[in-house]
Structure 1
Amino acid sequence: MATYLQAVNISLPNAALPHIQATLSMANDEVGWVFSSYIAASAVTMSITQWLAGRYGRKAIYQAALITFGLGLVFDTLATTSIQFVLARILQGAASGPLVPLSLAILLEVTPAEQRARMGLAATACSLLGISTGPAIGGWLSEYYGWPSIFNVSVPMTAIIFVTMAQLLGEKRQDRGQAFDFFGLTTFSVGMIGLQMLLDRGERLEWFASKEIWVEAIAAVLGFYLFTVHVLTRKEHFLRTVLFRDRNLLLATVISFVLGFVLLPTLALTSPMLEELLNYPVDTTGYMSVPRGVALVGALVLTSLAPSQLDYRPFLMGGMVLVVYANWLMLGYSPGMDWRPIVEAGFLQGAGLGMSLAALARAAFGTLDPKFRPEGSALINLSRLYGSTIGIAVVQLFFYANTQAVHIALAKHLTPFRVAANTVGSIAKPSLAALNGIVTRQAATVAVIDQFEILMFAMLAVIPLVFFLRKPRPSG
């Protein structure tokens, strides 16, 4: 339940964004913060979960995370401005970071050794199910009970988990003297946050005409530079060098980043397109995301249950090609279409992502020393999370830039003289305004399609990496 709760809250606001924007006066270019703030905060705290649990106790950290998560839910509903809402999402995301690794550790501890692989699969499926069902649940709740209900519904679930763990979960500590590389984590986080803010705020502040953008750019460059030097000059750090010596894990990390780059940004683009350009109600928008989620989880489970003797590389290649094909279908979207092309493309993309994620796990850990698998799993998860948050920033950035460019290209033909030549009588200003609205809608549609093209080419770029993966070792 905790794993599902953490995941579903990533995408719950997706279909409800029109209601949230209207209430909080949130600008269009601030919408991406609803997702990226939660994911980025989660990635940072997830990195230090093992150290926190070893120093203060697994149960104490787990319950503290649940309490903080509940407070974040309450603050979400009390927010009256977009900044307050984003700060509440940051708090909620930071609290969600420890929930997934600690939940998986608890599950594996109470599961017999021969069933741990299936338990890990169940946890992954539960997480992806949460991300996939979030838009449908959020759209339905916000349409009939108001957008605060999408957060209120999670409060009793959080309380149930807290009470259950308080009664049944035993405390467990590892070595209190365990060291953690805070310098490495800090420099890497500063680099990522600086890059994220640069992409999120650049268009609004006219890029390097703003001092803020210069500060964020310097922070990103300096953070990544210090982290790179730190990695090259120190034997042990929070991302062990030995992990990057395994070719399969290194390539899988890059591919996982791109899968994350496609997974959530597609949701972030599709819902606004359905609601603002095709005029679907928010609950219907949420329902239309269900086939994608069903295909994703179903393909993940079926691919994972395939015999271990099979080479997983063809499954990985097939899944990635299917994602590319689904995004190619999205290039045919138009304002005159019905729901069928959207459901079809979403279903195929979900199936491709599910196949790819399952096959990627086998490829990543098939050649890795088992003692490094927990850290390798954390690396894969972090790469997918950062892929999602960077992907959302990139598609939002290019969406608004492309909308303006296409609008200018179309509107230059919309002059009173050109219109009057094909119209009987005078053209009033309200009529010209209506025509301008049509042009804006067309420009936004073209811009959305352009972003699906970016996602398609991102996936195409990493498909050749599959040929460099080593064949996994046979399992004992």
Structure 2
Amino acid sequence: MNANPVAIPPGEGAGSLRFAALLATYMQSANLPLPNSALRFIQGSLSMTDDQAGWIFTAYLAASAITLPIAQWLAGRYGLKRIYQAALAFFVLGLLLATQATTPLEFVGARIIQGAASGVLAPLSMAIAVETLAPARRGKFGTVWTAIVLFGIASGPSIGGWISEHFGWRPMFYISVPLSVFIFLVMALLLEEKKAGKSPSFDFFGFGTFTLGLISLQMLLDRGERLEWFASTEIWLEAMGCALGLYLFVVHVLTAKVHFLNKSLFRDRNFVLSTIIFFALGFVLLSTMALTAPMLDELLGFPPDTTGFLTIPRGVGLVGAFVLMGRLSDRIDHRPFVATGIALVIYANWLMLGYSPLMDGWPVAGAGALQGVGLGVLMPAISKVAFSTLDPKLRPEGTGLFNLVRVYGSTIGVAIVQIFFFNNTQAMHMALASNLTPFHGAAHLASVQTLEGLNETVTHQAAFIAVIGQFKILMLAMVVVCPLVVFLRKPVPAN
């Protein structure tokens, strides 16, 4: 995380390099939620269970979280151009494997390859784009880059939904292949190979233990429900891996002089509290999307293209508010905007608790737009508060950790809402079915078709109630971190 970007001096072709890098940024972020509106088609085609559907998101996110911290080190060690092109090749490989998948395991494996390549493409694309700019223009570029990432996340479901509705779900992965080829050719023709003068150092022990702990936790959350939790040897092994990895990482941080994360980062109150809030933001950002699309598609019966289009208001609110916030002066106190953003997200999730099986798409569009505005206000505001009091020497490492925390917030958030969804669905099914007991005496008069229809109705109602319960969890995640705003220090004005 502490490797320096490889410098690329601005010159002829810099604009083309920058465009290709930003296109790659959009492409890798859009592919994360791309299958979201077509889950019903993918599940039916691959015989994928509901719990396995959650792996479509977590596999991509977890893989990108592994490769994200080592991207700059790889570029410095083996060459930026070589690593970037290799990541593009692996990304295309993942896309093609996804189109050929015939089993859930094959499809999840393809998503892991896509995610691992994405974790390298994202930071190196930003490094390439930044280094093609004149120094005076680099300060504000982070806002542009993040806006493109958010635009990709926001537009991915609508693109995937429309393609799936009209052409099937597999072709939606093909659209990124020609884009990847174009980016590859631009980099091959215009990007000069650069490596660090000496082999950069990297804390592999700290990175390894940190990764072991969090990936074991991710596997535990993803696989626990299917394997009946601690009745399974695998879950015990994953729990022990999580405990061991995080224990060794904490000891390493406390005892080693040079390690994966600089201890000085944790001495800055604003940075620590803002990082916790940013984790909660990541928890809500993609988990809402992972819940909304299946609710619209499977429970309310909306077609995939309509499901995708209903996510557009959330994306417009998110990107629009983010861009407007980026125009505010760094000299003002952003803490009120942090509080405002959190309040808007909480209120939007409270509106989601009023969803009904009889509703049309307007409540979803309205609550989504409001939540998007809240997230769009919160994200830049909390970022500015986090780094306003941090030593400038620590900002490169702090930026890496800050982004990594959001990614892990998203992947753990998706896993947790999936767990509670299945548990709550089963509990609500039993509770609703128990109310049918007084009519058990007439059950022999009902046909098999009638009983099956009755069970399907009960299951449908239980699943919808469970989805609403998950929106409550997301709301509570923001409620829990809301008091932290009070303890944020007034930011130091930028010079």
Counterpart Cα distance in 2 of 1:260 and 1:417: 46
1:471 aligns with 2:490: yes
The structural deviation recorded for 1:145 is 1.2
Give TM-score, length-normalised by structure 1. Answer: 0.97
Per the alignment, residue 95 of structure 2 pairs with 73
Per the alignment, residue 41 of structure 1 pairs with 63
Per the alignment, residue 427 of structure 1 pairs with 446
The structural deviation recorded for 1:53 is 1.0
Per the alignment, residue 196 of structure 1 pairs with 218
Counterpart Cα distance in 1 of 2:289 and 2:107: 20
Per the alignment, residue 83 of structure 2 pairs with 61
Counterpart Cα distance in 2 of 1:248 and 1:304: 20
Counterpart Cα distance in 2 of 1:227 and 1:18: 40
Paired residue type of 2:476: F
Paired residue type of 2:354: G
Task: Trace 1:253-332 onto structure 2 (pairs within 5 A).
Answer: 253-332=275-354
Per the alignment, residue 467 of structure 2 pairs with 448
The structural deviation recorded for 1:438 is 1.1
How far does the alpha carbon of each residue in 1:427-471 deviate from its partner, in whole angstroms, 9 at most, with x for none? 323212212211111111110000000000000100111111122
After TM superposition, the structure 1 stretch with the greater mean CA deviation from structure 2, 109-118 or 288-297, is: 109-118
Task: Trace 1:22-421 onto structure 2 (pairs within 5 A).
Answer: 22-415=44-437, 417=439, 420=442
Counterpart Cα distance in 1 of 2:97 and 2:440: 53
Paired residue type of 2:131: E
How far does the alpha carbon of each residue in 1:129-174 deviate from its partner, in whole angstroms, 9 at most, with x for none? 0001010000001111111111100000001001001111122222
The structural deviation recorded for 1:419 is 7.9
The structural deviation recorded for 1:176 is 3.0
Paired residue type of 2:140: R
Counterpart Cα distance in 2 of 1:466 and 1:80: 48
CA RMSD of aligned residues (A): 1.4
CA contact (8 A) 1:316 1:355 kept: yes
Secondary structure class of the residue paired with 2:140: helix
Q: Which of residues 445, 457, 460 in structure 2 aligns to 1:438? A: 457
Counterpart Cα distance in 2 of 1:374 and 1:150: 36
Counterpart Cα distance in 2 of 1:357 and 1:88: 30
Give TM-score, length-normalised by structure 2. Answer: 0.93
Residues 114 and 439 of structure 1: CA distance in aligned 2, closer, same or farther (over 3 Å): same
CA contact (8 A) 1:248 1:367 kept: yes
Per the alignment, residue 40 of structure 2 pairs with 18
Paired residue type of 1:475: A
Secondary structure class of the residue paired with 2:200: coil
Paired residue type of 2:412: I
Counterpart Cα distance in 1 of 2:33 and 2:447: 43
The structural deviation recorded for 1:201 is 1.1
Counterpart Cα distance in 2 of 1:419 and 1:59: 73
Counterpart Cα distance in 1 of 2:440 and 2:238: 46
How far does the alpha carbon of each residue in 1:199-223 deviate from its partner, in whole angstroms, 9 at most, with x for none? 1111111111111111111111111
The structural deviation recorded for 1:115 is 1.9
Report the number of matched residues.
473
Residues 380 and 419 of structure 1: CA distance in aligned 2, closer, same or farther (over 3 Å): farther
Paired residue type of 1:365: F
CA contact (8 A) 2:332 2:493 kept: no
Unaligned stretches of 5+ residues in structure 1: none
Paired residue type of 1:315: F
Secondary structure class of the residue paired with 2:48: coil
Paired residue type of 1:44: I
The structural deviation recorded for 1:241 is 1.2
The structural deviation recorded for 1:117 is 2.8
Counterpart Cα distance in 2 of 1:470 and 1:170: 44
The structural deviation recorded for 1:368 is 1.5
Secondary structure class of the residue paired with 1:15: helix
After TM superposition, the structure 1 stretch with the greater mean CA deviation from structure 2, 321-330 or 141-150, is: 141-150
CA contact (8 A) 2:65 2:408 kept: yes
The structural deviation recorded for 1:240 is 1.4
CA contact (8 A) 2:37 2:157 kept: yes
The structural deviation recorded for 1:420 is 4.3
The structural deviation recorded for 1:370 is 2.0
Counterpart Cα distance in 1 of 2:326 and 2:163: 33
CA contact (8 A) 1:198 1:216 kept: yes
Secondary structure class of the residue paired with 1:386: helix
CA contact (8 A) 2:28 2:121 kept: yes
CA contact (8 A) 1:55 1:175 kept: no
Counterpart Cα distance in 2 of 1:376 and 1:4: 23
Paired residue type of 1:367: T
CA contact (8 A) 1:8 1:131 kept: yes
Paired residue type of 2:190: L
Secondary structure class of the residue paired with 1:170: coil
Paired residue type of 2:155: T
The structural deviation recorded for 1:365 is 1.1
Secondary structure class of the residue paired with 1:195: helix
